[in-house]
Amino acid sequence: MKYVLFALAALALIAGFMFAGSYYKGKQAEKFGFLAQENAAVFIRDHSPTLGSDEAKVYLIEFMDPACETCAAFSPFVKHLMNTNPGRIKLVLRYAPFHEGADYFVKILEAAGRQGKYWETLDVMYRSQPHWASHHNPQPEKIWQFLPYAGVDVEQIRKDMNDPELVRLIEQDLADAAALEVRKTPGFFVNGKPLQTFGYEQLQELVQAEIRATYPE
């Protein structure tokens, strides 16, 4: 009898937890869907770097941090998603530099973007990340030795990255990240829908669902 009572209580608690969890996530998705309709700018700003065709109907918005290991690990997967669905996905990068001192790398990226080498530089940053972004011993200065591989004018970057406009740009992105309740990176949204549980498969499913919805066969 007591065992039954205990087991039932435990089951009820776990079921209640899972129900409350999915209810909360559902409410959040509704809220962001509404935000996407009413205020699309919170997902994509004029300054936001984008990759992919302008004709694409699926917008993959990624809140990222150049010093975030998981962002680097996700980068090839995002590319793979885009390559397997040519012309249908547009990637929008937003900044959520939560790591201490990560603003520095965002500024370098943006400065490289002015030379038309944004994506090349991002690639170099992600690949060299273990050398400069170690958690117990971050060495931001080390990034400079890798930048020439992106084919950029390093001296020009040193000048351009001090533009106060970049500070405002980062503040805007951080404000949007706060509005969208992005607390971890990478934070993904697909056409305004948040990635509810984190993982490669989950992101793929969310993207595929949006592709099915926007490109009916």
Partner 1 sequence: MTNGTPTADRGWGILFLCWLTVSISTLGSLFFSWVMEFAPCVLCWYQRICLFPLVVILAAGLFPLDRRVVRYSLPLAVLGWLTAFYHNLLYAGIVPETIQPCARGVSCKEEYIDLFGFISIPMLSLLSFSTIIALLLLFKWRTSR
Interface with partner 1 by CB under 8 A: which residues? 2-3, 5-6, 9-10, 13-14, 16-17, 20-21, 24-25, 181, 183-184
* Nearer CB in complex with partner 1: 13/213: 13
Cβ 174 to partner 1 shortest distance, Å: 16
* Nearer CB in complex with partner 1: 28/204: 28
Cβ 146 to partner 1 shortest distance, Å: 28
* Nearer CB in complex with partner 1: 14/41: 14
Cβ 35 to partner 1 shortest distance, Å: 17
* Sequential DSSP letters for 123-181: HHHHHHHHHH--SSS--GGGGGGTGGGGT--HHHHHHHTT-HHHHHHHHHHHHHHHHTT
Cα 29 from Cα 69, distance rounded (Å): 26
Residue 64 burial (CB < 10 Å; 0-12/13-18/19+)? buried
CA angle 164, 189, 79 (to 5 degrees): 85
* Nearer CB in complex with partner 1: 175/213: 175
Cβ 179 to partner 1 shortest distance, Å: 15
